[in-house]
Amino acid sequence: MERPLSGDHELVLGGYGQVAKALRDGIHPDGKYKRPLRDVRLGHVVTKISRPAGAAAAGGAKRGAVCKVYVKNQKKPIEAHVVLCTLPLGVLQHGDVAFEPKLPPFKQIAIDNLGMGTENRVAMLFDPADVFWPEDAHFLRPVRGRYTFANLHALGLTGVLCAWVRAKHIEEVEAMTDVEAFEDVMSTLRSMFRERVVQPREYKVTRWSQDPFSRGSYSYVPVGAFKVRIPYTGPHTTAFAW
């Protein structure tokens, strides 16, 4: 049974990527030894996962029974006794990866019943001397408009202001080009800070729901959902968000 974890939400200075990197480098939680993962293949787009009959249940490493994973632009499938699927919920929902035989209904129902939300950002780096927004508040929230601003500057990332696209406007903003989205954010900022607004040094725009490897960034419980136990991994299987 999951229980909500108490405590703060804390920004990882230097990037959350450090955690992923440490995991790949095999740093043991007790910190005592590390053994990097031997075989991590990037750019391998899975198209189909086929399991031998009778080994559908997880861990069914029957003698001789082999799972096959087909990768785009590769003729030969990769074979393994066990396939551990950590595909994001959005990808599973979108049906980009075929399962053979089909997933059992309880899994498919669980997949279909959850919702995949998106949190898009327009991250901007300004010169520290140029900071024109309030420096202490962690969030700048206009009551109207498409964006809320996370003031990462106040959290230790000097000069960084990050626009978060509000849930209602995700599609609208994803339809824009990077430049359009950025200009949209800047016009919101100009309405708030008038002529004090300066141009950032660099900005980056995300489109998580268009990302074929994510198709959204954050799962949620939509209306009408009910509980099913799913032996999968990933954030959508636990109650707390990370």
Q: Which of residues 17-76 bind another protein (CB under 8 A)?
A: 17-24, 26-31, 35, 37-46, 49, 61, 67, 69, 71
Site size with another protein, rule: CB under 8 A = 126
CB of 132 to another protein, least distance (A): 12
CB atoms within 10 A of CB 169: 14
CB of 88 to another protein, least distance (A): 7
Contact 107, 83 (CB under 8 A): no
C-alpha 93/C-alpha 96 separation (Å) is 8
Residue 213 found at the interface with another protein (CB under 8 A): yes
Instruction: For another protein, give the closer residue by CB, 155 or 176.
Output: 155
State the DSSP H helix or E strand holding residue 180, giving kind and residue range, or none if neither: helix 178-193
Residue 93 found at the interface with another protein (CB under 8 A): no
Nearest 5°: phi and psi at 48? -150, 140
C-alpha 222/C-alpha 116 separation (Å) is 9
Instruction: For another protein, give the closer residue by CB, 68 or 108.
Output: 68
Instruction: For another protein, give the closer residue by CB, 95 or 136.
Output: 136
Region of 50-58, 99-107, 110-118, 176-184 interacting with another protein (CB under 8 A): 110-118
Q: Which residue has the tokens 């607004």?
A: 197
Site for another protein in 165-204 (CB under 8 A): 166-168, 191-194, 201-204
CB of 105 to another protein, least distance (A): 19
Q: What is the per-residue burial (b if ≥16 Cβ within 10 Å, else e) of 215-238?
A: bbbbbeeeeeeeeeeeebeeebbe
Site for another protein in 131-170 (CB under 8 A): 133-144, 148, 150-152, 154-160, 162, 164, 166-168
Contact 163, 200 (CB under 8 A): no
Which of 73, 224, 229, 231 binds another protein (CB under 8 A)? It is: 224
Looking only at the bridges linking them, the beta strands covering 121-125 and 202-205 are: antiparallel
Which of 176, 184, 195, 220 binds another protein (CB under 8 A)? It is: 220
CB of 84 to another protein, least distance (A): 5
C-alpha 34/C-alpha 23 separation (Å) is 9
CA angle, 96 as apex, 92 and 99 as ends, to 5°? 70
